[in-house]
Structure 1
Amino acid sequence: MSVTLSSTRTRAALRSSARISVELLLVLVATAVALWVLGRMWSVVWPLIVGLLLTTLTWPLTRFLRRHGWSPALAASTVTVLFLAVAAGVVALIAVPVASQSGELSDGVVEGIQRLREWAAGPPLNIGDAQINQAFDSAVARAQDGVGSMVSAVVTGVGTVVNGVVTAVLALFLMFFFLKDGPRFLPWLARQLPGRLATDVPTVAERGWETLGSFVRSQAAVGLLDAVLIGLGLWVLGVPLVLPLAVLTFVSAFVPIIGALFAGFVAVLIALVSNGLTDALIVLAVIVVVQQLEGNVFQPMIQSRGLGLHAAVILLAVTLGGSLAGIVGSLLAVPVAALIAVVWNYVREQLSDPPQEPETDEPHASAAVPS
């Protein structure tokens, strides 16, 4: 009897395992199909994502104006124009000082190259001008041989710039419409969905919207912290263009990996051509320390508090997103993980049993008290 019971339990366990495996396989197949469709529609999805992120950044001001009697169209138009003005101001804040000191910087670059040649001509390298000229001629010959690949690279770069401009324009238009008609979206969505979905989907969408807002605000806080710390280091060392470099550091914080590398490279280059090799190495050390603190301490702590995710989960999400989709994957890894957590928490809330009140035969206390 015991053998028969054991074999019955074994077959039941195997059937349950097989059923769960098939369901998981179906979920994975559905996820793969959804990702494939998303990739085919990426030219539309990417401006939509950027527009949503910009909307989370500008919605608090729009909400303030609407609560003080502004019409939705006027509030959205005003905030959009202000956003464009701020973006143009940031560009001018970076470009104008650089243009005004371009002569000094170019002289510093020429002087740096001359120092490099003098250092290479001395011991222990002892590289003469003839060898340098020969190396330069060889580099020119290789560049001429690879002119075809250079042209294709330029064309690809132009196409990337054009796609970026188109994405930015679409994102701005979408941001305007989201600011104008955003509060009417959830009621409209509730009217379109049947049954319980009319309650579940808008609730999850509202929580997801709050999560995206927390992500953007936390990313801005991390970028501001980086800009202040690196800007202080540059100011102490007397590196020129401190304010443009700080603004560039803040803006580049929204682009993971590449943004930090680009801002750090620009800061080190300017320190090199203006203050010399020693200060450039100090600037490099300051940037490396700040970036390590940001990636391993500040960003996980701030985002874990704002998004309700553990710091280790954020680190793993950024690593996985970067390995799967590069820069875009790193940028979207944290908000996607937070949205998955929102959906999971809501599903867990709906599936959990409500607390049951203890049953008792005694009458309620209020019944024994005379009115």
Structure 2
Amino acid sequence: MAQPHSDAEGSPIIAAEARAAQVSSDEHPFGRPGRRFDRRSPFMIGLAGAAGVAVTYAGIQALLAAGQVLLLIVVALFLAIGMEPAVSWLVRPWFPRWAAVTTVFLVGIGLFAGFLAAAIPPLVTQGGALVHNAPDYVNHLARRYPFVKSLDERFHLHDHLQQSLGTDSSHLVSGALDAGRMVFGIISGIVIVAVLTAYFMANFPQIRSSIYRLFPHDRRPRAILIGDEIFAKVGGYILGNLLISAITAGLTFIWLLIFGVPYPLLLAVLVALLDLIPVIGSTVAGVIVALVALTVSLPVTIATIVFFIVLRLLEDYLLVPRIIGRTVQVPAMVTVVSVLLGGALLGIIGALLAIPVAAACLLILRETLLPSLDRH
């Protein structure tokens, strides 16, 4: 290159090029490799340590930046795993997998859309009425029940509600904009989860195969058995939990209609959402419904409390064993701890996914780590 050479290149470069022509051979056209770097040298150790810290820091920053997106991906993956038992049940020689996936997905979207179409108008109406009439309910309860009156006198509940509802127009506009952004975020999140769930459902066999190929050949059969058991636990828990939540919401709606408790649909939907949260969800829902039932009468409130106690017993000892069965076997202590940790880390979604994740971790520990520790 750059022939002919001139004195401007410098004699060291010209001498090195002459030496390069001598060391080149047919066996080693680019010369023999030089001495390898000493990986134990202080420079290489420091370089490797600095690179490890930099890569770890960059990975943590990437996870934090993509936290919301990763959360949506995890939710979509869990939904796809939850729908996989229904898809596998539909697949037949004359009914291919793509048709089963399409059927399950369209049925799920249809049920969700039908629920929204039927529930949103009364939910909006009842929710607006509840907010508007909240100060009157506080006055009504204060006149009827002395302990509510003492709470109102101590914490000024009526004044705080009046102040919150009587804000000026600038605050109302700001609140409307915030609500619009929140609704847009919820809708966009639902759309993203729906699209990702469809992709995961359609490609679940390929995803499953790719995961199992990460294991060594001699351990792959056992990994398949354990992995399929985990998928079955997650899927059974998600479908069973949704069904149990729908049953409790329906029973609550019927009860509230019979006793004339206001806002029955709004409270039933709230019960359905809170009942998805293990351990504490149904208890919180019962407390909220009982407080609203106070506006009717004290006997109705007591009856509502008894109803929720019976409903909790019915759920724990009849619905859960028959619907979820022995699919998810998690000790009570592990359930409480996992729900608390999941809620602290990922909020409501973390609490919802805590039990199947805990069941999967217990299965892995029982089948892999504990036998190895027992042998040594």
- TM superposition score normalised by structure 2: 0.60
Report how many aligned residue pairs link the two structures. 315
Separation in structure 2 between the aligned mates of residue 308 and residue 263 of structure 1, nearest angstrom: 25
String of CA shifts for 1:294-335, please: whole Å, max 9, x gaps: 689987998783222222221222233334444333223212
1:65 maps to a residue whose letter is L
Residue among 87, 94, 97 paired with 1:69: 94
Alignment partner, residue 342 of structure 2: 321
Matches within 5 A, 1:97-116: 112=137, 115=140
**Aligned partners of 1:47 and 1:171 also within 8 Å:** yes
In the alignment, is the contact (CA less than 8 A) between 1:72 and 1:181 conserved in 2? Answer: no
Q: Is 1:341 aligned with 2:362?
A: yes
5 Å matches for 1:39-118? 39-67=64-92, 69-95=94-120, 112=137, 115=140
Distance in structure 2 (CA, Å) of the matches to 1:150 and 1:52: 38
The alignment partner of 1:318 has SS state of: helix
Map 1:26-45 onto structure 2 (within 5 A): 38-45=63-70
Query: Partners of 2:323 and 2:90 in 1: how far apart?
Result: 28
| CA contact 1:105–1:270 (8 Å) conserved in 2 | no
User: SS at 1:83's partner residue?
Assistant: helix
RMSD: 5.2
Matched ranges for 1:1-371 at <5 A? 38-67=63-92, 69-95=94-120, 112=137, 115=140, 158-191=180-213, 195-196=217-218, 198-199=220-221, 201-220=223-242, 222-224=244-246, 226-227=248-249, 230-231=252-253, 233-234=255-256, 237-239=259-261, 245-246=267-268, 248-255=270-277, 260=282, 263-264=285-286, 267-268=289-290, 271=293, 275-276=296-297, 278-280=299-301, 282-284=303-305, 286-287=307-308, 290=311, 305-348=326-369, 351=372
Could you say if the C-alpha distance between residues 260 and 150 of structure 1 is closer, same or farther in structure 2, counting changes exceeding 3 Å? farther
The answer to whether the Cα contact below 8 Å between 1:300 and 1:312 also exists between their aligned partners in 2 is no
CA distance in 2, matches of 1:228, 1:311: 27
Q: In percent, how many aligned pairs have the same letter?
A: 24
Shift of 1:79: 1.8
1:223-266 Cα offsets, whole Å, 9 max, x none, are 25633654564355344665775455334422458965785577
Return the alpha-carbon distance in structure 1 between the equivalents of residues 182 and 227 of structure 2: 32
Structure 2: segments with no counterpart, 5+ residues: 1-55
Secondary structure (helix, strand or coil) at the match of 2:330 reads coil
What is the distance in 1 between the residues matched to 2:343 and 2:240? 20
Gaps of 5+ in 1: 1-30, 128-134, 355-371
Q: CA deviation at 1:83?
A: 0.8
User: Which amino acid is 1:320 matched to?
Assistant: L
Contact 1:51-1:175 at 8 Å conserved across structures: yes
Matched residues in 2 for 1:103 and 1:168: separation?
24
Distance change in 2, residues 1:212/1:137 (3 Å): closer
Output one character per residue of 1:54-74: Cα deviation in whole Å (capped at 9) or x when no partner: 223433332233225233333
Query: For residues 129 and 301 of structure 2, what CA distance do their matches in structure 1 show?
Result: 17
Amino acid at match of 1:175: T
Counterpart Cα distance in 2 of 1:182 and 1:146: 53
The 1:313/1:105 distance shift into structure 2, 3 A limit, reads: closer
Number of the residue aligned with 1:27: none
* 1:281-305 Cα deviation digits (max 9, x unpaired): 5435644675588689987998783
Q: Which amino acid aligns with 1:249?
A: V
